[in-house]
């Protein structure tokens, strides 16, 4: 789930614990150009305070007013649709005639938000099924392939980290990369068998695995929701991970280093049991070419490229820096 939507659930639980009424809103269907994706969430407190967004501000005011005055989802879940007519689309400024269908759910003990948040805090996937007639909720283990389902009678949503990022190396760059990735819905695993690096790793929420990189890649079994990024600059570690990651279904495999270093890396990989097609999957130099030099900038470049691939967007081809040693988020002397 989106980290923003996790804050929505936390706020809904906290507000109810403090004695406030609260109503959860979840986007379940969109038509045309919608401002937020299916699954986006918002919570409305009984005094009109909100957390999250379902439309980027287009319909929130109307929905807040109706919830506060008990005209929507006063006691049981309810479905509301915005933008059905041209008049509504114009009134709520929905782009390109877009339409949103939203489930509103009054928060109560039956919502089981504390249990849900406890499971999420353990970095586990959980499927939450809401009965539209009674408001009762069922929680069960989720799967990576699960998606939001709504048939008018039940709403099934999936919560927890939907994406995984394996970082090879526990250096300074890895810390920034892990922090940013957690904000973007990734469960982060850091692999570094070197005690001088692994012994200093203490970032909350990002698990350190001291195993050898190829063993760790095989252990986590990368799937289409997994990215693997090697950032140690040590071929013995980086190449070991890449040999296994490139053969996996991982949606993104990248390696830090200059253009020259990565060309040498590709030649080394060709000496193992990797096909030309598998080697071609390597993003190296890793990240978008934005002239990144500092660790935070490099992390930003990497995650921007990963996001573009996740969303199926062709990343822009930025002009390359004048210095040939500076490429796609890695400024190091060529060797």
Q: Where are the domains of the chain?
A: 3-159, 163-331
pLDDT for the residue 92: 54
Neighbours of 181 (CB within 10 A): 25
Average of per-residue pLDDT across 73-87? 81
Q: In terms of CATH architecture, what is 163-331?
A: 3-Layer(aba) Sandwich (3.40)
What letter does residue 59 receive in the DSSP assignment?
S
Give residue-wise pLDDT tens across range 26-43: 999 987 666 678 899 999
Q: What is the band of 60 on the pLDDT scale with cuts at 50, 70, 90?
A: confident
Give residue-wise pLDDT tens across range 142-184: 887 788 999 999 999 999 877 899 999 999 999 999 999 998 8
CB-based contacts of 232, cutoff 8 Å, min separation 6: 168, 169, 171, 192, 238, 256
* Structural contact between residues 167 and 295, judged by C-beta atoms closer than 8 angstroms: no
Q: Which two tokens stand for residue 125?
A: 């996937």
* Structural contact between residues 282 and 261, judged by C-beta atoms closer than 8 angstroms: no
DSSP for 204-262, written as a single string: TTEEEE-S-HHHHHHHH---TTEEEEE-S--HHHHHHHHHHHTTS--SEEEE-S-HHHH
For 172, the 3-state DSSP assignment is: helix
Q: Which two tokens stand for residue 277?
A: 């097609």
Q: What is the band of 333 on the pLDDT scale with cuts at 50, 70, 90?
A: very low
Give residue-wise pLDDT tens across range 272-303: 989 999 999 999 999 999 999 999 999 999 99
Q: What is the band of 87 on the pLDDT scale with cuts at 50, 70, 90?
A: low
Give residue-wise pLDDT tens across range 114-145: 999 999 888 788 999 999 999 999 999 988 77
């Amino acid at each position: 789930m989106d980290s923003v939507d996790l804050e929505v659930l936390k706020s809904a639980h906290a507000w109810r614990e403090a004695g406030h009424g609260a109503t959860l809103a979840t986007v379940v269907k969109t038509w045309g150009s919608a401002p937020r994706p299916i699954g986006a969430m918002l919570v409305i407190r009984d005094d009109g305070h909100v957390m999250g967004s379902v439309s980027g501000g287009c319909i929130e005011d109307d929905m807040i007013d109706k919830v506060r005055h008990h005209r929507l989802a006063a006691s049981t879940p309810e479905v509301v649709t915005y933008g059905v007519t041209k008049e509504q689309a114009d009134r709520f400024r929905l782009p390109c005639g877009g339409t949103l269908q939203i489930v509103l759910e009054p928060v109560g003990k039956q919502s089981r938000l504390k249990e849900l948040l406890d499971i999420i805090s353990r970095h586990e996937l959980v499927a939450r099924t809401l009965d539209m007639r009674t408001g009762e909720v069922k929680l069960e283990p989720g799967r990576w392939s699960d998606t939001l389902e709504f048939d008018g009678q039940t709403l099934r949503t999936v919560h927890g980290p939907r994406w995984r990022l394996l970082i090879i190396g526990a250096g300074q760059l890895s810390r920034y990369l892990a922090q940013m990735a957690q904000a973007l819905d990734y469960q982060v695993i850091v692999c570094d068998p070197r005690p001088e690096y692994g012994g200093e790793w203490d970032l909350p929420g990002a698990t350190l695995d001291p195993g050898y990189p190829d063993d760790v890649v095989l252990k986590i079994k990368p799937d289409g929701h997994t990215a693997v990024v090697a950032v140690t600059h040590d071929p013995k570690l980086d190449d070991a991970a890449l040999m296994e990651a490139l053969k996996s279904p991982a949606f993104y495999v990248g390696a830090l280093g200059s253009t020259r270093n990565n060309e040498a890396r590709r030649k080394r990989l060709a000496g193992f049991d990797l096909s030309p097609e598998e080697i071609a999957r390597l993003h190296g130099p890793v990240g978008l070419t934005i002239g990144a030099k500092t660790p935070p900038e490099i992390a930003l470049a990497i995650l921007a490229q990963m996001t573009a691939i996740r969303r199926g967007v062709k990343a822009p081809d930025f002009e390359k820096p004048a210095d040939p040693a500076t490429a796609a988020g890695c400024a190091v002397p060529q060797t």
